[in-house]
C-alpha cells in the first residue's frame, strides 16, 4: 500500500473522480508479486502500483474500469491452467488471485495514518460470500482503534484471526465467507547494544535496507555521534534505562555486540521476556556457554534462552568487521522474512 499512497493522495486533491484498487490476495507458483501488492486506477486512465510486475496489469485495469462504472467488486483468477493465462502474460507459470474494488475513503484514511505514522494494524476485507457482504471492511490498529464492520458475528471472528496475523493472507471467516487480511507493519527497528567497530558498519547497512537504527552504549567514547552520524538515535545509557525508552515490538531486532556481561546480561534479562523477533549476541561458543549458565542461574528456561542467536550471524566465513556486520544483518533479514512473509 505504501507505494501507492502518494499517487492516490494527489488524485484526490486534483479531482473528485472515483478510484478503484486491485489487491493480490493469493498467488501460486512463479507469480511475481506477493499477497498484499496493490494497484490503483481512475476513470481517466491513470494508474499506479502493480499486482504482477506487468504480467496481468492490462487485464486487471480493464476490469477495474468496469468496477468503477458499476461500483461492484470483482474477484479475478488468472493461472497456467486457465485459457486466459497466455493472454495476460502468465505463460511462464504461476497463478494469481486479485480482488478489485472501489476505494473506501474512510478505511483508506485510517490505514493511511497507520502507514505514514509507522503503526501496525490490519484491514480485513470480505472477498467471497453473499453478494451483499462482498467488499465489507474492518480495519484494526494494533493499539486497538478500529473502523468499519463485516457484520457483528464476523467482526468477532476477524478479531481473533488478526491477533496472530503476521502476514497478508486469505482466510476463511465462516463456511461461505472468505476474507483477505491485509497486514500493515511499521519499518523494522534494529537496536545495537555496544558501539563497537562492527556496530558502525551494521548501523550503516541496516539503515540502507530500511531499518530504523538505535545504538545503545553507556560508554560515551563508544556511543558517540562522531562514530555514529548515520544512526537514527544514540542512547548513552545502561540497557535497563535505555530499553525503558525503546518500544520493543515484534518488529524489533536486537544485536548485542559488547560480549561484556555487565552490559549484555541486563539487556538479555529484558529482551528474553519481550516480543522482539530477533536477539543475537556476539561471542564464541565458549562465551555463549558461559552466558547460558548465567541466564539459567537467573531462572530463564531453555526455551527462552534458545531465542538467542549465538554465535551471532550467518556462517559466511566473515573475517573483518564489515563482513561480520553483513552476516548479522543477513541473519536478521532471514529471521524476519521467515516469520512475517
pLDDT tens digit sequence for 133-146:
999 999 999 888 99
- pLDDT tier at 92 (50, 70, 90 boundaries)? low
Distance of CA 194 to the CA centre of its chain: 26
Residue with more model confidence, 272 or 29? 272
Residue with more model confidence, 84 or 56? 56
- What element of type H or E holds 24? strand 19-28
Residue with more model confidence, 267 or 96? 267
Strand runs labelled E in 129-176: 137-141, 146-148, 169-174
pLDDT for position 181: 93
- Percent of the chain exceeding pLDDT 90 equals 65
pLDDT for position 55: 67
Give CA–CA dist 54/64, Å, rounded: 15
pLDDT for position 18: 93
CA distances from 198 to 21, 83, 190 (A): 44, 54, 14
Flag whether pLDDT at 334 surpasses 70: yes
Flag whether pLDDT at 298 surpasses 60: yes
CA distances from 225 to 171, 222, 239, 271 (A): 47, 9, 18, 25
pLDDT for position 2: 79
pLDDT tens digit sequence for 103-136:
999 999 999 999 988 888 999 999 999 999 999 9
pTM, two decimals, is 0.73
Question: Mapping DSSP to helix (H, G, I), strand (E, B) and coil, where does residue 127 land?
Answer: strand
Residue-wise over 35-45: b if at least 16 C-beta within 10 A, else e? Answer: bbbbbbbbeee
pLDDT for position 332: 97
Angle between helices 261-271 and 285-297 (to 10 degrees): 60
> What number is the average pLDDT over the span 22-34?
77
- pLDDT tier at 16 (50, 70, 90 boundaries)? confident
- pLDDT tier at 194 (50, 70, 90 boundaries)? very high
- pLDDT tier at 228 (50, 70, 90 boundaries)? very high
> What number is the average pLDDT over the span 292-316?
94
Cβ–Cβ < 8 Å for 314, 334: yes
- What element of type H or E holds 128? strand 121-128
Mean pLDDT of the chain: 89
| Residues contacting 38, CB < 8 A, separation 6+ | 1, 3, 4, 21, 22, 23, 24, 49, 51
Q: Where are the domains of the chain?
A: 2-102, 106-184, 189-340
Flag whether pLDDT at 40 surpasses 80: yes
pLDDT for position 30: 58
Spatial strand order in the sheet of 146-148: 146-148, 137-141, 121-128, 177-184, 169-174
**Residue 171 cell numbers, joined:** 482466510
Sign of CA dihedral 257, 258, 261, 262: negative
pLDDT for position 133: 94
Beta pairing partners, 22: 39, 100
pLDDT tens digit sequence for 150-171:
988 899 888 888 777 778 889 9
Fold of the domain built from segment(s) 189-340: Rossmann fold (3.40.50)
pLDDT for position 86: 45
> What number is the average pLDDT over the span 277-302?
94
> What number is the average pLDDT over the span 51-66?
84
Based on the number of CB atoms within 10 Å of its own CB, is 181 exposed (0-12), middle (13-18) or buried (19 or more)? buried
Amino acid at each position: 500500500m505504501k507505494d501507492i499512497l502518494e499517487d492516490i493522495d494527489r488524485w484526490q486533491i486534483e479531482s473528485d473522480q472515483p478510484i478503484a484498487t486491485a489487491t493480490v490476495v493469493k498467488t501460486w507458483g512463479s507469480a511475481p508479486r506477493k499477497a498484499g501488492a496493490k494497484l490503483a486506477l481512475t476513470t481517466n486512465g491513470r494508474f499506479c502500483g502493480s499486482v504482477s510486475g506487468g504480467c496481468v496489469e492490462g487485464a486487471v485495469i480493464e476490469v477495474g474500469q468496469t468496477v468503477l462504472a458499476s461500483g461492484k467488486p470483482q474477484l479475478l483468477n488468472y493461472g497456467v491452467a486457465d485459457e486466459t493465462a497466455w493472454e495476460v502474460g502468465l505463460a511462464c507459470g504461476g497463478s494469481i488471485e486479485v480482488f478489485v474494488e472501489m476505494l473506501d475513503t474512510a478505511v483508506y484514511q485510517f490505514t493511511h495514518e497507520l502507514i505514514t505514522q509507522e503503526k501496525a494494524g490490519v484491514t480485513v476485507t470480505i472477498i467471497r460470500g453473499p453478494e451483499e457482504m462482498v467488499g465489507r471492511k474492518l480495519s484494526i490498529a494494533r493499539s486497538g482503534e478500529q473502523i468499519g464492520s463485516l457484520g457483528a458475528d464476523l467482526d468477532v471472528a476477524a478479531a481473533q484471526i488478526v491477533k496472530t496475523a503476521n502476514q497478508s493472507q486469505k482466510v476463511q471467516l465462516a463456511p461461505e465467507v472468505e476474507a483477505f487480511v491485509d497486514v500493515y507493519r511499521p519499518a523494522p527497528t534494529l537496536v545495537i547494544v555496544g558501539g563497537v567497530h562492527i556496530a558502525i558498519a551494521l548501523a550503516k547497512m541496516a539503515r540502507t535496507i530500511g531499518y530504523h537504527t538505535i545504538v545503545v552504549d553507556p560508554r560515551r567514547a563508544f556511543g558517540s555521534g562522531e562514530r555514529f552520524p548515520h544512526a537514527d538515535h544514540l542512547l548513552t545509557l545502561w540497557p535497563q534505562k535505555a530499553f525503558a525508552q525503546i518500544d520493543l515490538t515484534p518488529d524489533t531486532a536486537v544485536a548485542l555486540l559488547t560480549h561484556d556481561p555487565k552490559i549484555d546480561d541486563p539487556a538479555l534479562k529484558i529482551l528474553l521476556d519481550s516480543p522482539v523477533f530477533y536477539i543475537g549476541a556476539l561471542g564464541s561458543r565458549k562465551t555463549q556457554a558461559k552466558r547460558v549458565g548465567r541466564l539459567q542461574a537467573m531462572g530463564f528456561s531453555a526455551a527462552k534462552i534458545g531465542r538467542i542467536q549465538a554465535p551471532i550471524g550467518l556462517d559466511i566465513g566473515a573475517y573483518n568487521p564489515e563482513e561480520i556486520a553483513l552476516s548479522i544483518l543477513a541473519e536478521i533479514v532471514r529471521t524476519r522474512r521467515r516469520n512475517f512473509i
